[in-house]
A and B are shown apart, each in its own frame.
Chain A
Amino acid sequence: MAYPTDRKYTREHEWIQVNGNSGTVGITHYAQESLGDIVFVETPKVGAELTAGKTFGTVESVKAVSDLFAPASGTVTEVNADLATSPEKVNKDAHGSWMVKMTLKDPRELDALLSAADYEKFVAEEAGH
């Protein structure tokens, strides 16, 4: 599929959409497909400090748990309340379901992330295995 170009991607299948000094984070379509039906998302509290590359929560399906890795460092400003009541929304529309919003400590960190095209290539390789 074509991945939206208005955001950047991690190798751990998170996306981040940047708006000035704040970022919105979610997981990719590929991630939700691999996980299967999502039953629970564990998110940090507002005010929590995130470090790029470190885990900040988990996504659970019936048979598996995956860590969520922060695409960038910063502070959590908002958590999507939908996640607690309707985690299935992530399955329906992964790119439209955000998980956390955060302030960015160092926007330059985003340079290390993948573009939509690079992520698409990366996913094709992964799936090929």
Chain B
Amino acid sequence: MRYLPKSPADREAMLKAIGLRSIDDLFAPIPTEYRLSRDLNIPRQMAESEIVDFFRQRSRENADGYASFLGAGAYFHYRPVIIDSLISRGEFLTAYTPYQAEISQGTLQSIFEFQTMICELTGMEVANASMYDGSTAAAEGVMMAVRLTGRRSVVVARSLHPEYREVLATYATHQGMPLTVAGFGGDGRLDLKELEKLITQETACVLVQSPNFFGTIEDVDAIAEIAHKHGAMLVVSIAEAVSLGIVEPPRQADVIAMEAQSFGVPLGFGGPYCGVIATREKYVRQMPGRLVGQTLDKQGKRGFVLTLATREQHIRREKATSNICTNQALVALMVNIFMAVYGKVGLKELAKQNLAKTAYAAGQFAKHGTVLFANSPRFNEFVVQTSEDPYAINSRLLGHKMIGGLPLKKFYPELGNAALWCCTELTPRSAIDTAVGLVAESERSVRSAKEEVEEVAR
């Protein structure tokens, strides 16, 4: 087997050195009744060319070459090629967690840079080295607030990504953290009056997303005021990291739980992605996840180490801030390189292009369907309501090798025939025009069908 660097002669020599006759002797500790005497029933060994072929086939069965208007927590942005050139280096790809700092300075310094840039972008004072993804980061952010305030209940915005809310519910159920959901108003934002009613002296935190699931930017200032007034913390989830290029970050938040996938991480059918938690310095000891700190070596040279490790599972065990061990280091490195490539000016220009594409698309859709929450500021997503079921419209779009907006009925049935559309810098105008055209056609057919019916009825 080509990954195994031993010849039969090597194995024999080794067995002899150990003083055994056969490899079976080494498996003697396994009770006979359990030892497998047959081959595993899995596909036979494949040549590399066969493996590549298998996955190429799967790729063809997987919407290869389609234009997509999907967002909803996973965004299609351009990935600069140097990301893969650099992260594919064996020194990054095949390195371990940097517990032995002297021979991991490459990993450690890049994490330190990552932590710095996340702070700059989010307006927070400290950031960790990554969490699994945005959804678990939000749940961990909430648990941080619970630990810090000593209170147990949580108010969650309904305009937070539905799957993030599901994850929070799973984490919360067994930690005795009652969750209440605050709805959104006609402006697509968290209903502040409802929030006032739901928040109590037992509320540890309010959790909102901005831009929210609908792409609408929340009034974070107002939400923060209400939360802080009642002694609760504000945890803000950010799912579309590119928004930070042009949208003011939620500086009044106590904890920001982010998904950095938009920064150079492939869509990859849902993972691996890159969650991050950023917060104020005073909360750092309650922060989960690894942290890299700057220090000096014995000669006074600058170096970096994993620090404040006593928060973590390998030391604190059952009293740890989290059970997280493996994080998303390689993916965070992709994010790091992306942020360095675009930088101070590029991130703004990139965000502006997203804004422009979306404004154009929303404007065009509004001529035929209804674009909801039109009077609230938004980033790169918007909701379109149509007369026809969006599944039917999307079916037609598939014929043009396009994937339309995400139908929202299963998450927000009260919005009726609504779908969530996303445009990024990669969405061609021609695709937008085609999609708009199909929606226009759909509205026309429905209208004329209605007219026909009314005609007949008369």
Contact = CB atoms under 8 A, between A and B. Distances in A.
Q: Do chains A and B touch in the complex (CB under 8 A)?
A: yes
Interface of A: 39-40, 60-65
Contacts, number: 16
Contacts of B47: none
A60 B316 CA distance: 10
Contacts of B444: none
Provide the main secondary structure of the chain B interface.
helix
B284 to A, nearest CB: 11
A63 B315 contact: yes
Contacts of B315: 63-65
B309 A40 contact: no
A78 to B, nearest CB: 22
Given A39-B310, A63-B309, A64-B310, 13 more contacts: A40-B285, A40-B310, A60-B310, A61-B310, A62-B309, A62-B310, A63-B310, A63-B315, A64-B315, A65-B310, A65-B315, A65-B316, A65-B319
A40 B316 CA distance: 14
A129 to B, nearest CB: 22
Contacts of A62: 309-310
Contacts of A63: 309-310, 315
A41 to B, nearest CB: 12
In this complex, the interface size class of chain B, counting residues with CB under 8 Å from chain A, is under 10
Interface string B309-324: 1100001100100000
Nearest to A42: B285
Interface in B275-318: 285, 309-310, 315-316
A9 B74 CA distance: 59
Find the residue from B310, B315, B316 having the highest chain A CB count within 10 A: B310
9 smallest beta-carbon distances between A and B, as pairs: A60-B310, A65-B310, A65-B316, A65-B315, A64-B315, A63-B315, A64-B310, A63-B309, A62-B309
Contacts of B310: 39-40, 60-65
Interface in B315-366: 315-316, 319
A60 B311 CA distance: 10
12 contacts: A40-B285, A40-B310, A60-B310, A61-B310, A63-B310, A63-B315, A64-B310, A64-B315, A65-B310, A65-B315, A65-B316, A65-B319
A60 B321 CA distance: 14
A64 B316 CA distance: 8
A58 to B, nearest CB: 8
B286 to A, nearest CB: 11
A78 B319 CA distance: 26
Contacts of B316: 65
Contacts of B309: 62-63
A62 to B, nearest CB: 7
A94 B316 CA distance: 24
A65 B317 CA distance: 10
